[in-house]
Structure 1
Amino acid sequence: MNKNLLASLVAATVISNPIYAQTVDMSASELAKLQQQISELQSKLTELQQQVDAATADVASNSEAIGEEAGYVDEPVQAKSEDGITVGGAVRTNFSYTSYNEGNKDRSGDFDFDIFRVNFTGVVGDVSLNGEIRFFDYMTAIKYAYVGYQFSKNWQVQAGVAKVPFGNSPYNSHNYFFSANYYLGLEDDFDLGVVFKRSVADNWQLDLAFFKNDELGGVDGYVDNRSDRYSYDIVGARAAGEGIYDDPTQPLGEYNTFSGRFAYHFSQGGFDTEVGVSALSGGLHDGNSRAGDYQAWALHASSRYENWHAQFQHSNYHYDIDQVDRIAVGAYSFYDSIAAEATSSTFNLAYDLAVNFGAVTALQFYNNYGVVYDKSDNTANTVMNITGVSVAAGGLFTYFDWVYAKNQPFVGGSAAGDSSDFEHRFNINIGYYF
């Protein structure tokens, strides 16, 4: 009830009684004073409440500012840098139908597990990390694992198991099997060392690298099988009478390898083209002393016109070891052989086509051709031609390849083979990438 109304009612009641007339005069006077005091007190309380509210707002504002600085606020503060490591990977399966395996033909082909792989990429404190580990039924292999640092606008350094800069980049092929150069150790090769990379500026780029040894530690690396690796490297010298696929009796390993790749980019008449030259040179060790050295060089070009791609590469390699014309190489948990010296030429065409067939968004049609010749062991040429198409559909990426080859690994032969017969392989590799 309103205090003024209550006071008036009390005063009226008391004044109406003559017995309390004197008392009424005193009570009404005191009540009026009391009302004035209450009014003044209410005014002061209102003013004080306003001051408290203002002070509370200041405290809250200051507390929030302190909390942001210390990191103790309800809403997370956005970091100045996007530090963190992203984990991805792929699962791949493979179907093949071949002309060189009677059991495979009788079964109308075979469908097998290919790989499960895990990738790591990201940046922590301006230092980047890139890694990939692959799990097969028969082995586990690290493809690459290196850290990187961008120490200037155009230069980056990478250290670890990094890619050897050589030839057309990133690949000298479009298909699942790469080119014939891959099986010679001249495409998508990874070794343990340091790479300095200059990004494209003023139309040119440069990669310079030093590799202490191969990715498994060289000739005496701490591994139980030197063929359990992703990329091809020398693992030994082939002695007279030693089989193409035998474990090498004379182990060898590459060490102290210098590699360089120079490329120039230009555009003319709608063509975007890169031309370049690559070279590498290093030593070979038998576990006790230097056993020889090796070199390789390549001239390469890659061009694009609208949806068309063209690649060319001419390469030569030489493993200079006394009285050795054939060497042992290892990869994918088995040993193979190549001539100690040979020349290779590759030519590739591809066409990109954007589509909208349900989940399918892109197709690439290609034909990749390669030949290895002038071999030091006087064996027949290695020839491989691959016609195919790759299909992108969401997380799925699939290769459909028709391979026509002779003296080619994984197509019924070896790079050290001496056959005149061509073999066929129809291959479908299905991968889900995440």
Structure 2
Amino acid sequence: MAQGQFKRDYSLLFAKRFFFLIVMALLQVYPSVAQEKPELKIGGALRFNYNLSSWKDGQKKRGGDFGYDLFRINTKASYKGIFLDAEYRLYSSEFGGGMLKQGWIGYNFNDQNQIQVGLTQVPFGIQQYNSNNWFFNLPYYVGLEDDLDMGVKYVHTGEKIEYHLAFFKNAEELKFGDNTEISPSRYSYDIAGRNKEANQINGKFVYKFGKEYLSRVGISLQYGGLYNLDTEEMGNHSALSIHYELTKGLWDVKVQFISAAHNPENAAGESREIVSMAAYGAPYQVASDFTIYTLNVARNVPVEWGPVSSLKFYNDFAFMGKNVSGFTDSFMNVTGVLVAAGNVYTYIDYAAGYNHSWLGGNFVDDFAKGNPNATWEARFNVNLGYYF
């Protein structure tokens, strides 16, 4: 048997066994009381964005730009214990246009146990977000923060122990061709180009403790296949995260370590030191092996200023070390405040980046090879949104 065939068969066997374990776990829980009347809730948001970027000379001369960010619709429905959670977003055509951010069908077995099927959040690291600002943090830009894929997830939420087990068949698939690359019109970053994510398993375990303060310490594991469209061989990718969250009074602290590796079975002559990732309408390159450290600190301040009820000050920092010879590391730091006024939420951010694809420099390979002569670039950003 060829080595590639062995890898592919082993990956599928591993995924099937993991899915079997999820099903067996479901048999251990008790069903919830069926809901008699159907419920439907519709919500959404309209957001606008102002930004002024240090690397855009024309923009600086005219004092920045203010325009449309997104319009989104959120739908939640439930009947007889089965529920739906979906969100559709409309960005400008330059940022991918319309896309399903999330959409899954779920069932609550009881107050602590739930299953979700569809386009659901990958259980990895600090969630829902490992950040406080509008820009997210570095893990998001490499597919490890608020990532959503197609699969099934089982969630247990106890008083002290929380765990998530999941199997994802693949990332969002929009074309269903035999040899087609994924569409870049997506919300979260996924492997793109001539490789496709396949048969991924995830496990996340969290222990909660503390009386005067709440602490959450956890570990997340991820392993899956990378199917190459040219060689028809199955490579693999894996990631590990150790994370800690502290909430004490009005203070919030989030600390996380991530190690990730990608081993694609590319065609001869194609580099295996980089992988392509895509979202928001465009792909870019990412180092195949890297580590990320993040530290986020926030302080909530209740106020009574007319409609303004609270201010949340924060600083989110991240470092990405690329474990590839000759590649330059990346940094990101965002200082800002979230202003809450009724249904209006405004993020005011000063985001700085070094070898960051969305913060100056060369968009295509900042998260891959990078530039050793790069300079820090910054963007002052105000995102104004009405959420309903």
Normalising to structure 2: TM-score of the pair?
Answer: 0.84
Following superposition of structure 1 onto structure 2, how do residues 31-430 of structure 1 map, counting pairs within 5 Å? 81-138=36-93, 139-201=97-159, 203-216=160-173, 220=177, 226-236=183-193, 251-267=194-210, 270-287=212-229, 289-322=232-265, 323-376=271-324, 378-413=326-361, 414-416=366-368, 417-418=370-371, 419-430=373-384
Q: 1:223 to 1:403 in 2, by over 3 A?
A: same
Q: 1:218 to 1:234 in 2, by over 3 A?
A: farther
Aligned-pair distance for 1:83? 2.0
Work out the CA distance in 1 between the residues paired with 2:181 and 2:308: 43
The one-letter amino acid of 2:207's match is Y
Work out the CA distance in 2 between the residues paired with 1:363 and 1:274: 24
Partner of 1:3: none
Aligned-pair distance for 1:124? 1.7
For the 8 Å contact 1:174–1:366, the answer to whether it is kept is yes
Q: 1:364 to 1:195 in 2, by over 3 A?
A: same
By relative contact order (CA 8 Å, sep 6+), the higher-ranking structure is 2
Partner of 2:268: none
The CA RMSD measured in Å over matched residues stands at: 1.9
For the 8 Å contact 1:380–1:420, the answer to whether it is kept is no
Work out the CA distance in 1 between the residues paired with 2:202 and 2:263: 17
For the 8 Å contact 2:303–2:309, the answer to whether it is kept is yes
Normalising to structure 1: TM-score of the pair?
Answer: 0.75
Q: 1:189 to 1:143 in 2, by over 3 A?
A: same
For the 8 Å contact 2:184–2:282, the answer to whether it is kept is yes
Partner of 1:72: none
Work out the CA distance in 2 between the residues paired with 1:218 and 1:311: 38
Work out the CA distance in 1 between the residues paired with 2:180 and 2:166: 25
For the 8 Å contact 1:339–1:377, the answer to whether it is kept is no
Partner of 1:431: 385
Q: 1:210 to 1:119 in 2, by over 3 A?
A: same
Aligned-pair distance for 1:404? 1.4
How far does the alpha carbon of each residue in 1:128-148 deviate from its partner, in whole angstroms, 9 at most, with x for none? 100001001111111100010
Work out the CA distance in 2 between the residues paired with 1:219 and 1:147: 21
Identity of aligned pairs, percent?
35
What SS class does the counterpart of residue 380 from structure 1 fall into? coil
Aligned-pair distance for 1:336? 1.0
**Unmatched 5+ stretches in structure 1:** 1-78, 237-250
Q: 1:432 to 1:334 in 2, by over 3 A?
A: same
For the 8 Å contact 2:181–2:195, the answer to whether it is kept is no
How far does the alpha carbon of each residue in 1:148-198 deviate from its partner, in whole angstroms, 9 at most, with x for none? 001244210000000000001211100001110000100000000000000
How far does the alpha carbon of each residue in 1:93-124 deviate from its partner, in whole angstroms, 9 at most, with x for none? 10000101111111110111000000001212
Q: 1:140 to 1:430 in 2, by over 3 A?
A: same
Work out the CA distance in 1 between the residues paired with 2:181 and 2:172: 14
For the 8 Å contact 2:35–2:80, the answer to whether it is kept is no
How far does the alpha carbon of each residue in 1:387-433 deviate from its partner, in whole angstroms, 9 at most, with x for none? 00001111111100001111112211332222431001100001111
Work out the CA distance in 2 between the residues paired with 1:117 and 1:339: 32
Partner of 1:13: none
User: Paired residues, what number?
Assistant: 340
Work out the CA distance in 1 between the residues paired with 2:326 and 2:155: 38
For the 8 Å contact 1:90–1:433, the answer to whether it is kept is yes
Aligned-pair distance for 1:215? 1.4
Q: 1:381 to 1:167 in 2, by over 3 A?
A: same
Aligned-pair distance for 1:219? 8.2
How far does the alpha carbon of each residue in 1:17-72 deviate from its partner, in whole angstroms, 9 at most, with x for none? xxxxxxxxxxxxxxxxxxxxxxxxxxxxxxxxxxxxxxxxxxxxxxxxxxxxxxxx
Aligned-pair distance for 1:383? 0.4
Work out the CA distance in 1 between the residues paired with 2:180 and 2:324: 31
Work out the CA distance in 2 between the residues paired with 1:227 and 1:327: 14
Larger radius of gyration: 1
Aligned-pair distance for 1:378? 3.0
